[in-house]
Structures are given as structure tokens and as C-alpha cells.
């Protein structure tokens, strides 16, 4: 007997995931099937829900040899930007939620993050090194406009003269240009703006609630004009879908004021592989097999290879060709330079109420 299609419980306009797979930690799994009795047009629209979490610790440490930082902060869990390729989706399972639609619609905000950060930086044993923000979920996703948790975090970092590296697709970052420009003048901040494609139609399908590519280019220009160094991140490069745009994205970002560039190939850890395959079948059925075939070439015959040193650059002839193209293009555009390290020597704990005053 032919399997029935999965029954939908909501309409999902502006969402990338087509399903809400069970949490991998659940012991029991259930699947509703469509019996044809519930007309789809009568279903409610799936809305974004936001709950608050009291953060007991905000600085997360890592020892990954693939990363240039050893600490990071996530103001939010889950991300309404909803990029179908987001490698952070599986992290939602740790919260008892699905990496699918839950990741895009059931968000967790950390309203005490700034206060907790102030406490952690005030610890006499704390040694400053660059904190990365936006490496898991985007700090400038839509909810930030009303919650302003990221801005509060920046205010703390500014008060401590603490270096920070920010990664975002959100144009809302320009709201905080006053703080960022002040920190940039002291060598305390740099920003990475991620651009996957210049085609607005492809972007809307891949990353449905992310500002359009043209808006992100304008953001690079606005930040650059404010004296804030910006690196363009051509990420992820999707074979047979966005790979042909590599040079064009770099050129557009250079024209907008970017001073450096980086690139990462598509990564599909855990549930992301299934979600991405379903998305391809719905949006690009004519080339789905070709895209996934190339993805597997990149990762040793699998949807994803998590091995350090390979997961972000891939392996094989196609990966080497993309590395060569990136190297040639960035050299031509003078985007192949490394930005100077952010300063840590300015770090100082601001005076607290009750502190003994300095004589000098």
C-alpha cells in the first residue's frame, strides 16, 4: 500500500523547512498522515513564538581547531531567518524541540544575557580574548528589533573595552552603528556579513526571512562608511545552485566596501541533510540529484563529513577548484588579506559601586 502524505497542521508562508521532524532524543515517534478530510486552506498560519530563558552562563567555550575563536555568545536560541541550510538547526534538539519548523518558529530569548555577561567579565580571573557572536544563530534576527538583547550585550562589551567579532545576515546591525563605530575606532570590533546569493528569488527560497542580498550590500556600505571593518562571507557555497556566483558576490561586496572575505562550503549535519533534500525536491526538482551528488563528492561520499579540517572546505576536485577560484578572485580584488587581531590590551573592568577609588 502506498504511504499517505504527511498531514499538515499549519500553513507555513515564509518558512523554509517543509516539516517538523521528531526530536532525535524522543523515545516515541508519531507521524500524522493526510486522510484528505482537512482542507489545507482552512489551516491556521504558523506564527513565531518567543519564550524567555534565564541565562546562568552566557560565554560558551569551544576547543575546535576549525574556529578562530574560543568563546562565543548566543543572545537567542533558534532563528526566524529560517535558512534551510543552517548547520545550527540540530542544536534545537537539546531544547526538546525539532530542528525543522520549530527552529524557525519557537525561539528562546535570553533577556538577562547582558547582566550575566557583566558578571562574567567582572570576575578577576577572566582573561579577555575575542568573543564571537552570530556563529550559531543570528543576533540580528527580527526579534532583536523589539528585544534589543544584542544591543545591551554590545553596551557591556563597550564598557569593558572587550573585543567582539560579529557575524550576521541582518540589516538591523546598522541600528548599533554608534556603539560599533566607537569600538572600531579602538580596534575592538569587526563584522562579517554573510551573502549566499545575489539572486533575490533564490535567496527568498533558501533564507525566507533574511533581508534581500541588495539590502545586505547596502549594510556593508553603511558600516564601512561608519569606520567599521566588514568581511564578506560567501557562505555557504552550494554546488550546482550558487557556486557560479562566487566571483560576482566578491565583486559586489568589494564595491560596497568590504575589506576581506571568507568562504565555507555547504554543511548538512544530522537533520539538516533530510530537511535540505526535501527542500530541494520542492524547489529545484530538476537539479536535486545533481546538487546532492556534488555535496556527497565534497564530503567523502556522505551527506556530511564532520571531520575537523574537512567539514568547512570539503574534499576532492570540486573543493580544490572552488578554493582556487576563491583565492584568485580575492587576490584580484585585494580581499585576500588577514585583518589585524582585535585588541585585548584595552580591557578594563569599569568602576563598580563600592569600589576603592584609584589614586591616579
How many CB atoms within 10 Å of residue 45? Answer: 10
**In whole angstroms, what is the distance from residue 129 CA to residue 266 CA?**
28
pLDDT of residue 172: 98
Gyration radius of the chain over CA positions: 21
pLDDT of residue 46: 87
Closest to 136 measured CA to CA, from 178, 83, 182, 187: 83
pLDDT of residue 354: 58
Q: Which residues pair with 268 in a beta bridge?
A: none
pLDDT of residue 104: 96
pLDDT of residue 311: 78
**In whole angstroms, what is the distance from residue 136 CA to residue 60 CA?**
11
SS3 179: helix
CB 44 within 8 A of CB 11: yes
**In whole angstroms, what is the distance from residue 215 CA to residue 211 CA?**
6
Largest CA distance in the chain: 85
Angle at the Cα of 252 from the Cα atoms of 246 and 253, rounded to 5 degrees:
90
**In whole angstroms, what is the distance from residue 214 CA to residue 156 CA?**
31
**In whole angstroms, what is the distance from residue 131 CA to residue 165 CA?**
6
Domain borders along the chain are 40-290
SS3 45: strand
**CB environment 167-198: b (16+ within 10 A), e (fewer):** bbbbbbbbbbbebbebbbeebbbbbbbbbbbb
> What contacts 347, CB < 8 A, 6 or more positions away?
128, 160, 161, 162
pLDDT of residue 36: 59
Distance of CA 104 to the CA centre of its chain: 13
> Could you read off the pLDDT tens digit of each residue along the chain, which spans 360 residues?
344 455 566 787 889 898 888 777 666 556 655 555 556 666 788 899 999 999 999 999 988 887 788 899 999 999 999 999 999 999 998 888 999 999 999 999 999 999 999 999 999 999 999 999 998 999 999 999 999 999 999 999 999 999 999 999 999 999 999 999 999 999 999 999 999 999 999 999 999 999 999 999 999 999 999 999 999 999 999 999 999 999 999 999 999 999 999 999 999 999 999 999 999 999 999 999 999 999 999 998 888 888 887 777 888 999 999 999 999 999 999 999 888 999 999 999 998 765 655 555
Taking phi over 0 as left and psi of -120 to 50 as alpha, with beta for the rest, 300 belongs to left
Grid cell at residue 59: 560565554
Q: For 40-290, which CATH class?
A: alpha beta
Closest to 73 measured CA to CA, from 125, 139, 121, 128: 139
Closest to 141 measured CA to CA, from 42, 211, 57, 197: 211
pLDDT of residue 266: 94
**In whole angstroms, what is the distance from residue 131 CA to residue 164 CA?**
5
List, in sequence order, the alpha helices (H) in 199-349. 200-206, 213-225, 246-256, 271-283, 288-298, 317-332
pLDDT of residue 4: 41
**In whole angstroms, what is the distance from residue 230 CA to residue 339 CA?**
10
Amino acid at each position: 500500500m502506498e504511504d499517505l502524505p504527511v498531514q499538515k497542521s499549519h500553513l507555513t508562508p515564509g518558512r523554509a523547512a517543509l516539516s517538523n521532524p521528531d526530536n532525535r532524543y524522543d523515545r516515541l515517534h508519531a507521524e500524522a498522515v493526510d486522510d484528505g478530510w482537512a482542507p489545507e486552506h482552512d489551516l491556521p498560519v504558523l506564527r513565531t513564538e518567543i519564550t524567555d530563558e534565564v541565562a546562568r552562563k552566557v560565554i560558551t567555550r569551544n576547543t575546535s581547531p576549525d574556529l578562530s575563536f574560543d568563546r562565543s555568545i548566543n543572545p537567542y536560541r533558534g532563528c526566524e531567518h529560517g535558512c534551510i541550510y543552517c548547520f545550527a538547526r540540530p542544536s534545537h534538539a537539546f531544547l526538546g524541540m525539532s530542528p525543522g519548523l520549530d527552529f524557525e518558529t519557537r525561539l528562546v530569548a535570553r533577556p538577562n544575557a547582558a547582566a550575566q555577561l557583566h558578571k562574567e567579565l567582572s570576575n578577576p580571573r577572566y582573561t579577555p580574548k575575542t568573543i564571537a557572536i552570530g556563529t550559531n544563530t543570528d543576533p540580528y534576527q527580527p526579534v532583536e528589533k523589539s528585544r534589543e538583547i544584542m544591543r545591551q550585550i554590545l553596551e557591556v562589551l563597550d564598557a569593558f573595552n572587550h573585543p567582539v567579532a560579529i557575524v550576521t545576515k541582518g540589516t538591523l546591525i546598522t541600528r548599533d552603528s554608534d556603539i560599533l563605530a566607537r569600538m572600531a575606532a579602538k580596534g575592538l570590533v569587526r563584522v562579517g556579513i554573510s551573502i549566499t546569493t545575489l539572486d533575490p528569488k533564490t535567496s527568498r527560497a533558501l533564507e525566507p526571512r533574511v533581508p534581500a542580498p541588495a539590502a545586505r550590500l547596502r549594510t556593508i556600505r553603511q558600516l564601512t562608511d561608519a569606520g567599521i571593518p566588514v568581511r564578506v562571507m560567501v557562505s555557504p557555497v552550494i554546488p550546482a545552485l550558487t557556486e557560479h556566483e562566487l566571483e560576482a558576490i566578491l565583486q559586489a561586496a568589494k564595491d560596497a566596501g568590504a575589506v576581506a572575505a571568507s568562504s565555507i562550503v555547504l554543511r548538512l549535519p544530522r537533520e539538516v541533510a533530510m530537511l535540505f533534500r526535501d527542500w530541494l525536491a520542492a524547489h529545484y526538482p530538476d537539479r536535486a540529484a545533481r546538487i546532492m551528488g556534488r555535496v556527497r563528492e565534497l564530503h567523502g561520499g556522505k551527506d556530511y563529513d564532520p571531520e575537523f579540517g574537512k567539514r568547512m572546505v570539503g574534499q576532492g576536485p570540486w573543493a580544490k577548484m572552488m578554493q582556487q577560484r576563491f583565492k584568485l578572485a580575492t587576490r584580484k580584488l585585494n580581499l585576500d588579506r588577514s585583518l589585524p587581531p582585535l585588541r585585548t590590551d584595552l580591557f578594563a573592568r569599569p568602576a563598580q559601586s563600592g569600589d576603592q577609588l584609584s589614586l591616579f
